[in-house]
Amino acid sequence: MAASEYCTITVTTDTLENATLITQTLLEKRLVACVQSHSVQSAYRWQGKIITTEEIRLDLKTKVTLFDEIKMLILELHTYDVPEILMFHCDGGNGYYFQWIEEETKR
């Protein structure tokens, strides 16, 4: 298994409830092996205004082949009109960790 087969997907949301819904749904459907959540301070432009707010960032550990399905599910569940959904390919890492992701996600 090559590192390039795996990725981290970053998503931000505004509430713990939405973060929990996204996390639980993705784990139950075996689309991700792990979700890490972090409180972050975000500043961005939205509809002509500068917004500063607290958000929850989710880092999803998964396989590249599952990205499209994950993206569609997040778009269905998310509270934002334009949610952040960014995929970052793995260039390298612990082979045992990649094996664990493989075992814990659907084939």
Structural domains for the chain: 3-104 (3.30.70.120)
Give the mean pLDDT of 65-69. 98
Report d(CA 44, CA 68) in Å as an integer.
26
pLDDT of residue 8: 99
Confidence of residue 107 (pLDDT cuts 50, 70, 90): confident
Predicted TM-score (pTM) above 0.85: yes
CA 25 to chain centre: 12
What SS3 state is found at 18?
helix
Report d(CA 52, CA 107) in Å as an integer.
40
DSSP-H helix ranges across the chain: 16-28, 67-77, 95-104
What SS3 state is found at 71?
helix
